[in-house]
Amino acid sequence: MRWSTFLTYGLAFVASASELAPPDKIVRRELDTRSLASTIWNDIENAATCDACEAVLLLLKGVAELGDSSFVSVLTEICDLSGAEDSDVCSGAIALEGPIIAHDLRSFSIGSHTSKLFCVTFMGLCAYPDVTPYTVSFPSAKPSTSRPSPSGQTPIQIVQYSDVHVDPFYVTGSNTNCSKPICCRDYSTADSPGNNNYPAGAYGDHNCDTPTSLEESMYAAIASIAPNAKFALFTGDIVDHAVWNTTQAQNTIDINAAYGHMSGLPIVYGTVGNHEANPTNAFQPTAVGTNSQWVYNLLSSIWTKWIGVTAATAEESFGAYSVKYGSSNLRIISINTNMYYIQNYWLYESDMETDPSGQLAWLVTELQAAETAGERVYIIGHTPMGSSDAFHDASNYFDQIVNRYSNTIAAMFFGHTHDDEFEISYSDYSNRAFNTASAISYIMPSLTPTSGHPTFRVYTVDPVSFAVLDSVTYFADMTNPAYQTTGPVWTKYYSAKETYGALLSPAVSADDNTVELSPAFWHNVTTVFESSASAFAGYISRKSRGWNVASCTGSCQTEEICKVRAGRAEDNCVTPSFGVSFKKRWEANAVATGHRDECGISVSREVLAKMVTRRDMLETLARRMDEEVEVRKRTASERV
Ligand SMILES: *[C@@H]1O[C@H](CO)[C@@H](O)[C@H](O)[C@H]1NC(C)=O
Ligand SMILES: *[C@@H]1O[C@H](CO)[C@@H](O)[C@H](O)[C@H]1NC(C)=O
Ligand SMILES: *[C@@H]1O[C@H](CO)[C@@H](O)[C@H](O)[C@H]1NC(C)=O
């Protein structure tokens, strides 16, 4: 069958499913769902294409048109069939995420920009659509100034930590080898302390989120290692990964508790992570609704003591704020990156907004005022804006802003990936070189041990230009025999300036306080990654702090360096891959050997990605859609 004919049939089919009364319309369905599933399957087998994804969308849209409860029950059944997760995880997660996805499917049309993005995110079956061109407007042209040089005055220290993911239900002695996305909970009798062969230690495990003991240990280590740190940047994600069972009440308890544990720090500049929401990742932009207002209000009330009433009140608009650090020349701008996050399913509207919640326009206003006042700026956020977790469109628009104000932005700080990484922005992505490198994003590895050993970081910073002079990462090596007995031993893992400065030519001396880790410095580091296999292997190892290091050579190396050289997501070389959306080979391999996908666990996404690799799941989708239509038909005719 030609696809155009098929789509015509399919659309007639969806239309008939959605117009349930009068019931005779349903009878006019011209294609039976089973053959539809077979046709899709054959197409996927021959060539996994965007057409096939759009045909799957027809079925999904058909179910969504029947209502949220039909959609949730059908997707839950398919999740169970997939064996991807335990049944309570399937039902819990899909009950939370399903209605938002059903809303998306009802609102966008198949073949649109949004539907292609949906296919990329959920199934990896379409190529990433081109960015919709949009030129951000600026109040003034970029002045011909350049980055100020460091003053050379005695540096100050600041701290960053991220992705704490504290699990209040962590139970020492419970099973670390459980069947759920995270372990170390008393899920069942078999998982209980004393009844399992893999008892959790008192201070955490790579299959589990952070126990309170580990969280407290990190703040104690920060206090002893960096007692004079002026402030801390906390780049978000507090709530654990039990995403199938989140509630606003429990998230509120977790958020209050986590910030309570930070109270020994002089100032904490926080930002809103994707796990702070309920359901996880689900932040409505202001044009859609107010379901995240409670998060913004809660954070505002907690942050007031650090950022003051004015900034905290402004934060309540959409989760972002801008504030001066004390009487210094530094401004901290905290943005809500959930407005650009591909797993925030509220963003898949029929016409996607160019500037959700107006945050980009607000950012321009703040940066313009900072530039005019001669201030230095740190931008902090949760999800790095060049990563494959950021929409290409939003990332492009954000990158225009970064490049316009690159001489005012001293550095940017993110988290989310759980890995130790960095991203370079360029004024010209077709010529990524040291002299076009325009901004640097530090991506902070996590406290939660799911992707490596627990970490925090201390930056040495110029007190006038606020340039980052060094970035020193501390970790608690979980293989240390003392770790689970007397507790985590926090030691220096590496200094970026020592480790990378020595590799450059001319070499950058670790104790030269007149040299910053500039965007050009970091670009030159990536040049060394290209020419030195051992320097690059060192970077790969540091990503997970030496834990479960996968080999990355050849095209993996090329792609990884490309990813580092991309403050703009469209340039990060990450291509959607069929069935394993967004995982590169070595990452997919890492998943096979036990690595969990970084920050985002969306069960629905996992299920849909699996569905396009399994004929039985597709057929079940088709059959269940039929059954749901039949139920509706019967109900409708009973009503007549
Ligand atoms: C974890 O448990 C499963 C079955 O429950 C078993 O097949 C697997 O080998 C265990 N993992 C390890 C690392 O022993
Ligand atoms: C869900 O979480 C609550 C705490 O918020 C807990 O009491 C309950 O047992 C959990 N339910 C499941 C099915 O995990
Ligand atoms: C980067 O490398 C170039 C040579 O390729 C050199 O001219 C420049 O000084 C280096 N910049 C830094 C900050 O290391």
pLDDT, one tens digit per residue, over 554-602 is: 999 999 999 999 999 999 999 887 665 433 323 333 433 333 444 556 8
Residue 445 · residue 496 · CB < 8 Å: no
168-182 residue pLDDT tens: 999 999 999 999 999
Give the domain-ending residue among 475, 505, 531.
531
pTM: 0.93
Mean pLDDT of the chain: 91
- For residue 267, the enclosing domain spans 156-170+209-531
Q: Are residues 427 and 496 in the same domain?
A: yes
Q: Say if residue 1's pLDDT is above 80.
A: no
Residues 74, 64: Cα–Cα separation, whole Å: 10
Determine, yes or no, domain membership for 38. Answer: yes
State residue 592's pLDDT score.
37
Q: Are residues 388 and 484 in the same domain?
A: yes
Q: Say if residue 531's pLDDT is above 90.
A: yes
Per the listing, tokens 């007397």 go with 486
Q: Which DSSP state fits 245? A: G
Q: Are residues 102 and 223 in the same domain?
A: no
453 labeled part of a ligand binding site: no
State residue 541's pLDDT score.
97
Q: Which residues of 286-319 are buried (b: 16+ CB within 10 A; e: fewer)?
A: beeeebbeebbebbbebbeebbeeebbebbbbbb
Q: Say if residue 59's pLDDT is above 50.
A: yes
Give the domain-ending residue among 531, 547, 566.
531
State residue 340's pLDDT score.
98
Residues 188, 343: Cα–Cα separation, whole Å: 30
Residue 181 · residue 601 · CB < 8 Å: yes
Q: Is the CB of 286 under 6 A from ligand 2?
A: no
Q: Are residues 112 and 165 in the same domain?
A: no
Determine, yes or no, domain membership for 438. Answer: yes
Determine, yes or no, domain membership for 25. Answer: yes
Per the listing, tokens 């910073």 go with 461
Residue 596 · residue 450 · CB < 8 Å: yes
229-287 residue pLDDT tens: 999 999 999 999 999 999 999 999 999 999 999 999 999 999 999 999 999 999 999 99
Of 101-105, 415-419, 555-559, 629-633, the least confident: 629-633
Q: Are residues 110 and 160 in the same domain?
A: no
Determine, yes or no, domain membership for 138. Answer: no
275 labeled part of a ligand binding site: no
Q: Are residues 387 and 246 in the same domain?
A: yes
- 512: helix, strand or coil: coil
Residue 601 alpha carbon to ligand 2 centre in Å: 18
- 194: helix, strand or coil: coil
Q: Are residues 323 and 367 in the same domain?
A: yes
Ligand 3, pocket residues at CB < 6 Å: 434, 504, 518, 520-521, 524
261 labeled part of a ligand binding site: no
Counts of helices then strands in the chain (DSSP H, E): 19, 12
Q: Is the CB of 188 under 6 A from ligand 2?
A: no
Residue 607 alpha carbon to ligand 1 centre in Å: 23
Sequence-distant (6+) residues with CB within 8 A of 416 are 162, 163, 235, 236, 237, 273, 274, 337, 382, 383, 384, 387, 389, 443, 598, 599
Per the listing, tokens 């080898």 go with 177
Residue 185 alpha carbon to ligand 1 centre in Å: 16
State residue 600's pLDDT score.
57
Determine, yes or no, domain membership for 112. Answer: yes
User: What six digits make up the tokens of 505?
Assistant: 């030519």
For 379, phi then psi, to 5°, come to -100, 130
For 165, phi then psi, to 5°, come to 40, 65
Q: Are residues 483 and 618 in the same domain?
A: no
The best mutation among 146, 434, 468, 565 to test binding of ligand 3, ranked by most ligand atoms within 8 Å of the C-beta, falls on 434
Q: Are residues 76 and 166 in the same domain?
A: no
Q: Are residues 319 and 461 in the same domain?
A: yes
**Closest alpha carbon to 164 in 245, 255, 281:** 255
Portion of the chain with pLDDT greater than 70, in percent? 91
Outline where DSSP puts E strands in 146-220.
Answer: 156-161
List the CATH number of the domain containing 248.
Answer: 3.60.21.10
Handedness of CA 542, 543, 548, 554 (dihedral sign): negative
Average pLDDT over residues 398-420: 98
Determine, yes or no, domain membership for 442. Answer: yes
Determine, yes or no, domain membership for 549. Answer: no
Determine, yes or no, domain membership for 142. Answer: no
Domain total in the chain = 2
Residue 176 alpha carbon to ligand 1 centre in Å: 10
Q: Are residues 416 and 521 in the same domain?
A: yes
State residue 601's pLDDT score.
67
Helices (H), 423-580: 496-501, 519-531, 533-543, 555-564
Q: Whose CA is closest to atom 3 on ligand 2?
A: 245
State residue 18's pLDDT score.
46
